[in-house]
Amino acid sequence: MKTKLKLKEKLFSGNLGFTLFSIVIGFVVGAIVLLIAGFNPLEAYSVMISGVFSRPKYISWTIIYATPIIITGLSVAFAFRTGLFNIGAEGQYIIGSLVATAIGYFLKLPPVIHFIFVFITAALAAGLWGAIAGYLKAKFGVHEVIATIMLNWIALYLNNYFVMLEGFKRPQSETSYEIQNTASITILENWKYSDVGREWLSNYPILKDILAAPVNLGFLIAILLAILVWYILNKTTLGYELRAVGFNRHAAEYGGINVEKSMVISMFIAGALAGIAGALQVTGVTKSVAILAAMEGYGFDGIAVSLIGSNTAFGSIFSGLLFGMLKYGGPKIQPFLRAPSEVVNIVIGTIVFFVAIPKFIRMLGSLMNKKRGEKNVG
Amino acid sequence: MDGRNFKEKVVEMKNITKMFGDFKANDNINLTVHKGEVHALLGENGAGKTTLMNVLYGLYQPTSGEIYIKGKKVNVENPNVAIENGIGMVHQHFMLVEPFTVAENIILGMETTKGIGVLDRDKAIEDVEKLSEQYGLYVDPNAKIQDITVGMQQRVEILKALYRGADILILDEPTAVLTPQEIEDLIKIIKNLTNEGKTVIIITHKLKEIKQVADYCTIIRRGKYIDTVKVSETTEEELASKMVGREVSFKVDKEERETGDTVLKIDNLVVRDNRNIKAVDGLSLEVKSGEILGIAGVDGNGQSELIEAITGLREVESGKVYFNSKDITNKTPREIIDSGISTIPEDRQKRGLVLEFTIAENTVLENYDREPFSRKGILNENKIKEYAKDLIKKFDVRPNNEKIKAKALSGGNQQKVIIAREVSNDPDLLIAAQPTRGLDVGAIEFVHKSLVEQRDKNKAVLLVSLELDEVLNVSDRIAVIYEGKIVDIIDAEEADEKTLGLLMAGRGGKRNEN
Ligand SMILES: Nc1ncnc2c1ncn2[C@@H]1O[C@H](COP(=O)(O)OP(=O)(O)O)[C@@H](O)[C@H]1O
Ligand SMILES: [Mg+2]
């Protein structure tokens, strides 16, 4: 009885322990699904692991997959820490990538400066997009979940409208023109395909393999953004205000903090982050935007990333990488096991679900406690 | 004592220790309760009363110690074991299902069924009515929990326990949520219960109630057993000093003072409440430097709205608020704070503190954006820490650790953090709204001293309280509020409970004279 309690306490007390526990659960349940579908889970997981780690190129790809969802994770985490639930990272991401593509294609600027300009305009546009939800909540009490869900759809259709416009749409395709090279952040993009580059790289197979993927500066920027988010939240007066409003808006108001302004600022920052995720994806990987038949899910993945990262900046980096592995390595088990792609998707979905669900339950629990606490005050 | 003799031991808790991690919430506590008695458990907030009772009720396992119920050693593994042994508990926070009816809540989990699994509702209602008549526990069996008063919800909880066959009833701070009238009803109910041979353990830190209702009282302090006394042979002062561990004075010491200039002037103020009804309706008032003006009144006569209006949290519809002769009507909370008004808010957990913040973060809630606590938008954590440490020491906040979250503090210590913060702003006007609500005597004494100190520094203090004793003890002048107006202002020297009571009920007073 005693030792059992101890073990349980240990597992559930530390956030890190709890997270690891959730991840194990996720993989165990994923294994059960594989077993039921008639496949050997050990084999499947080892294929996945070697599909992520066995070649430098694979690691490059994993990081490329992880980068945008780390940043949308930061966006959701930032909003959450200030008391807001940003379901809108998806739409903010779309706005960010659309603006990044437009500025990257239409403007002609010198390298570096062009990228910086793309980066800033995309962040501003998506920030304003997010701030709409903050404003609606502050002024009219519209719940941010509802507002951001609607804004997601508006963003999607705006994207499709602009991509279709003549002069922006690349003929005979469903996508826009590509951005200028001056706006790209892909590392050694031209050089690595040039004759000189090829010849040089053939002497360095590892480097060649790494660069076989569109390796770009996005991941570095994601880490810098995580540091920035952590710094703003914990070390600045702005972060103090936003957190105070998030924890207890009544006390914040009493202390003289402008609650409405805080909500708008918080959603602006969250939106800007998600927009940066979109801009980095465009400038580093896709180079253009396409007509979207459905949401791509970067924003929604961000919710799970934030959740698993305990809504912290650095937690988002690690959970984003974990997600990147699943998203990149997961589908590799399909050709190997000859499993239908549905099974693979179900397994990935199950793992994600069961990694997230214990956290989610705990979060709900603490929310309920908070509510109950408020009610019984005095 | 009215024919009851307390010979038969029904509960014996021996050497109970309960640890939470390294923290000893109960440290070797003994408790003996006899059949038919009302046994009070007295202690400051955080003393470990609830923990001890949760151990008895099987919600916590003791780290060590033994429990005997009716002479038999029992291992109370869970509440079911407690219930089987005739123990019922009414928690501080009720555990009722809101959308269900009273009767449904009472029979929940004990449903009598007609034949195969069909709920026998009529039988249930009949049983409930019988019980409620027997003990004077008036309830409406068909009303939904969400629609009834807190007092009735409490009676439902008591009935729930009795329905499960409890003959030992634990009530955890039952009076904290009740109005004075409801408290009297509860006391009657408790007497009915013991007359029928039930045993009642009542947790409280209100000494008056112990004198009124309890036969014996066990005092615990910081997790340790102090004493068990016969209530009829002790005084409130003795109980208080045992609870706090030092002498406590109920009388507030203060010397005569000359009052100075008018600091706060309220002129014909009109403020609406959340339902858009005029809660403050043409109220005028002046507070001078060097005085404590107390506002007495029954809850809901516009006190909360008045304070929110002065502090900028609620819009003033008409009328004016002047502070040091400057018009501050409808200024923002920040402007009003900066002009020199500090407030101890009425609801410390809702308004006064960010519970998830550390003590240090809470101490700068109003000046985090000013030097030395920040520069150019960057917090200076060292300065905040030093400041918090200083306040913790000056105001004796326990535990003295600026890094712990405010939610981990007891009510009294939370209030100390707020008072430390507000008084340190060195305000010309300190507003204290129900500053001692829910606090134990030690903390109350501290709060009152702080108010008097402000007054003695020639500051103005506006005290709003629902406790008549408090208003009478602390104030220099007393204004009575009724339906959003001040009906009379009396010198505290000349005031007594009776005249104030009448004024508070809307009878008497200047305005009604002609
Ligand atoms: N579940 C718990 N975990 C850790 N500490 C607790 C727990 N319950 C109570 N405590 C601590 O034990 C002490 C006694 O609490 P409690 O029994 O609720 O006091 P009381 O009812 O006398 O006000 C307090 O310091 C409280 O913070
Ligand atoms: Mg308690």
Name the band, by pLDDT with cuts 50, 70 and 90, for residue B118: low
**Amino acid letter, B259:** T
Specify whether the CB–CB gap between A324 and A85 falls below 8 A: no
Question: Measured between CB atoms, which of A372, A374, A378 is closest to B437?
Answer: A378
Within an 8 Å CB–CB cutoff, is residue A251 touching chain B?
yes
Percent of chain B at pLDDT exceeding 90: 61
Q: What is the mean pLDDT of residues B134-157?
A: 87
Mutation to probe ligand 1, out of B41, B42, B49, B51 (largest number of atoms < 8 A from CB): B51
Closest in A237, A255, A374 to B350, CB measured: A374
pLDDT computed for residue A372 by the predictor:
42
Query: Which residue, among B351, B407, B466, would best test binding to A if mutated, counting the most A CBs under 10 Å from its CB?
Result: B351
pLDDT at B488 over 90: yes
CA–CA gap between residue B145 and residue B143 (Å, rounded):
6
Ramachandran class of B28: left when φ > 0, alpha when ψ lies in -120 to 50, beta otherwise: left
Looking at residue B257, what is its pLDDT? 81
Whether the predicted pLDDT of A4 surpasses 70: no
**Mapping DSSP to helix (H, G, I), strand (E, B) and coil, where does residue B153 land?**
helix
Give the span between the Cα atoms of A128 and A9, in whole angstroms. 44
**Residue-averaged pLDDT of chain A:** 88
Span A51-80, average pLDDT: 95
Residue A196 neighbours by CB distance under 10 Å: 9
The minimum-distance atom of ligand 1 relative to the CA of B173 is: 21
For strands B199-204 and B113-114, give the pairing: unpaired
3-class SS at B50? Answer: helix
Residue B263, pLDDT score: 96
Nearest to B435 by CA among B299, B343, B303: B343
Instruction: Return the amino acid letter for A125.
Output: A
pLDDT 10s digits, B28-45: 999 999 999 999 999 887
Alpha-carbon distance of A210 to A120, in angstroms, equals: 29
Under DSSP, the state recorded for B402 is T
CA max distance for chain A: 76
Ligand 1 pocket residues where CB is under 6 Å: B 20, 23, 25, 43, 45-51
Distance CA A214, CA A329 (A): 17
Residue that wins the pLDDT comparison between B245 and A360: B245
Contact B321, B327 (CB under 8 A): yes
Residue B345 CA, distance from chain mean position: 14
Are B333 and A253 a contacting pair at CB < 8 A? yes
Distance (Å, whole) CA A98 – CA A56: 31
The answer to whether the CB atoms of A238 and B354 lie below 8 A apart is no
In angstroms, rounded to a whole number, what is the distance separating the alpha carbons of residues B214 and B38? 5
Q: Is the pLDDT of residue B237 over 90?
A: no
- Asked if A262 and A82 touch (Cβ cutoff 8 Å), the reply is yes
Whose C-alpha lies nearest to ligand 1, atom 16? B48
Q: Which of residues 321-380 of B touch A (CB under 8 A)?
A: 332-334, 337-338, 343, 345, 347, 349-357, 361, 365-366, 368-369, 374, 377-379
* Predicted confidence (pLDDT) at residue A2 exceeds the cutoff of 50: no
CB atoms within 10 A of CB A259: 16
Chain B: give the shortest CA distance to residue A271, in Å: 22
Q: Which residues contact A366 (CB under 8 A, 6 or more apart)?
A: none
- B428's tokens: 């010309």
Name the helix (H) or strand (E) containing B11. Answer: strand B9-20
Which DSSP string corresponds to A36-50? HTT--HHHHHHHHHH
- CB within 8 Å: A374 and B374: no
Of all protein residues, whose CA lies closest to atom 10 belonging to ligand 1? B25
Give the residue among B412, B452, B492, B483 at the shortest CA–CA distance from B45.
Answer: B412
Two tokens, residue B301: 């006569």
Question: A58 with A52: CB under 8 angstroms?
Answer: yes
Interval B444-453 mean pLDDT: 91
Look at residue B298 in the predicted model and tell me its pLDDT: 82
* pLDDT at site B17: 96
Using CB atoms, pick whichever of A240, A257, A373 lies closest to residue B379. A240
Q: How far apart are CA A326 and CA A349, in angstroms?
A: 9
pLDDT-derived band of residue B254, with 50, 70 and 90 as boundaries? confident
HSE toward the beta carbon, residue A320, CA cutoff 13 A: 31
Q: What is the pLDDT of residue B513?
A: 40
The Cβ-side half-sphere exposure at B413, using a 13 Å CA radius, reads 22
Cβ distance of B378 and A237 shorter than 8 Å: yes
Burial B238-272 (b: 16+ CB within 10 A, else e): ebbbbbbeeebeeebebeeeebeeebbbbbebbbb
Q: CA–CA separation, B454 vs B71, rounded Å?
A: 56
User: Rounded to an integer, what distance in angstroms lies between the CA atom of residue B331 and that of residue A25?
Assistant: 55
Mean pLDDT score of chain B, rounded to an integer? 89
* Kind of pairing between the strands at B477-482 and B485-491: antiparallel
Of the partner residues B338, B374, B437, the one whose CB lies closest to the CB of residue A237: B374
The DSSP secondary-structure symbol of B86 reads T
**pLDDT for A337:** 80
Whole-complex ipTM:
0.83
Question: Edge-to-edge strand order for the sheet containing B224-230?
Answer: B72-73, B64-69, B9-20, B23-34, B224-230, B216-221, B38-42, B199-204, B168-172, B87-90
pLDDT, tens digit, 9 for 90 and up, residues A9-39: 444 445 677 778 778 888 888 888 888 888 8
Per-residue pLDDT reduced to its tens digit, B174-217: 987 777 778 888 999 999 999 989 999 999 878 888 999 999 99
DSSP B404: S
Which of the four pLDDT bands, split at 50, 70 and 90, describes residue A340? confident
Distance of residue B159 Cα from the nearest chain A Cα, in angstroms: 21
Phi, psi of B374 (to 5 degrees): -155, 160
Q: Min CA distance, A306 vs chain B (Å)?
A: 20
The burial of A5, by beta-carbon neighbours within 10 Å (0-12 exposed, 13-18 middle, 19 or more buried), is given as exposed
Query: Helices H, strands E: what count in chain A?
Result: 17, 0
Look at residue B274 and give its three-state secondary structure. coil
Asked if B93 lies within 8 A of A256 by C-beta distance, the reply is no
Q: What is the pLDDT of residue A44?
A: 87
Residues of B with Cβ-Cβ distance to A377 under 8 angstroms: 347, 349-350
Q: Are B216 and B230 in contact (CB under 8 A)?
A: yes
**pLDDT class of B361 with cuts at 50, 70, 90:** very high
Phi, psi of B199 (to 5 degrees): -115, 140
Round the CA-based radius of gyration of chain B to a whole number and report it.
Answer: 25
Q: How far apart are the first and last CA of chain A?
A: 37
Q: Do domains B9-244 and B251-340+429-436+459-514 have the same CATH topology?
A: yes
3-class SS at B440? coil
Residue B3: pLDDT band (50, 70, 90) is low
Contacts A235 to B, Cβ<8 Å:
378-379, 381
Angle at B131 (CA atoms; ends B130, B133), nearest 5 degrees: 70
- Please name the residue of chain B whose CA is at the shortest distance from the CA of residue A254: B351
B20 and A CB contact within 8 Å: no
Q: Which of A240, A250, A372 sits opposite B368 (nearest CB)?
A: A240
Q: How far is CA B258 from the centre of its chain?
A: 34
Q: What is the pLDDT of residue B431?
A: 97
Distance separating alpha carbons of residues B231 and B218, to the nearest angstrom: 10
Q: Work out which ligand 1 atom sits closest to the CA atom of B220.
A: 22
At position A115, the amino acid (one-letter code) is F
Domain B9-244, CATH number (from 3.40.50.300, 3.40.50.10320, 3.40.50.720, 1.10.10.370): 3.40.50.300
Q: Do B357 and A250 count as a contact with CB atoms less than 8 A apart?
A: no
- Residue A376 has its nearest CB partner, among B93, B356, B379, at B93
pLDDT class for B330, splitting at 50, 70, 90? very high
B416 and B436 Cβ atoms separated by less than 8 Å: no
Ligand 2 centroid–CA A358 distance in Å is 30
Ligand nearest to C-alpha A376:
2
Alpha-carbon Rg for chain A in angstroms? 22
CB A215 within 8 A of CB A65: no
Q: Report the range of poorest mean pLDDT among A89-93, A205-209, A238-242.
A: A205-209
- Give the helix/strand (H/E) hosting B9: strand B9-20
Neighbour tally for B369: CB within 10 Å: 18
Q: How many CB atoms lie within 10 A of CB B130?
A: 9
Please report, for chain A, the start and end positions of each structural domain, with discontinuous segments joined by +. 67-329
Residue B75 touches chain A, beta carbons under 8 Å: no
Find, in chain A, the residue whose alpha carbon is nearest to that of B351: A251
What are the residues whose beta carbons fall under 8 Å from the beta carbon of A238, sequence distance 6 or more?
A232, A265, B377
Task: State in Å: Cα A219 to ligand 1 middle.
Answer: 46
List phi, psi (to 5°) of B108.
Answer: -50, 125
Distance separating alpha carbons of residues B390 and A378, to the nearest angstrom:
28
Of A215, A201, A205, A207, the C-alpha closest to A62 is A215
* CATH class of residue range B251-340+429-436+459-514: alpha beta
| Cβ neighbour number for residue A144 with a 10 Å cutoff | 25
Encode burial over A52-75: b for 16+ CB neighbours within 10 A, e otherwise. beeebbbbbbbbbbbbbbbbbbbb
Binned at pLDDT 50, 70 and 90, residue B93 comes out as confident
Q: Give me the pLDDT at residue A377, please.
A: 33
CA distances from residue B182 to B137, B155, B158, B206, B498 in whole angstroms, order as listed: 12, 10, 14, 15, 20
Q: Which residue's alpha carbon is nearest to atom 11 within ligand 1?
A: B25
Distance from the Cα of residue B224 to its chain's centroid? 23
B373 has a pLDDT exceeding 70: yes
Half-sphere exposure of B227 (CA within 13 A, CB side): 12
pLDDT band at A222 (very low <50, low <70, confident <90, very high): very high
Domain definitions of chain B by residue range:
9-244, 251-340+429-436+459-514, 347-426
Q: Are B365 and A255 an interchain contact pair (Cβ–Cβ within 8 Å)?
A: yes
Contact indicator for B318, B271 with CB cutoff of 8 Å: no
Pocket test of ligand 1: the residue of B16, B20, B53, B439 to mutate, having most ligand atoms within 8 Å of its CB, is: B20
* CB-CB contact of B267 with B284 (8 Å): yes
Are A290 and A163 a contacting pair, CB within 8 Å? Answer: yes
Q: Say how far apart CA A69 and CA A51 lie, in whole Å.
A: 20
pTM listed for this prediction: 0.75
Residue B123 scores a pLDDT above 90: no
Token pair in block for residue B205: 């830190």
Residue to substitute from B153, B328, B349, B431, interface A, most A β-carbons within 10 A: B349
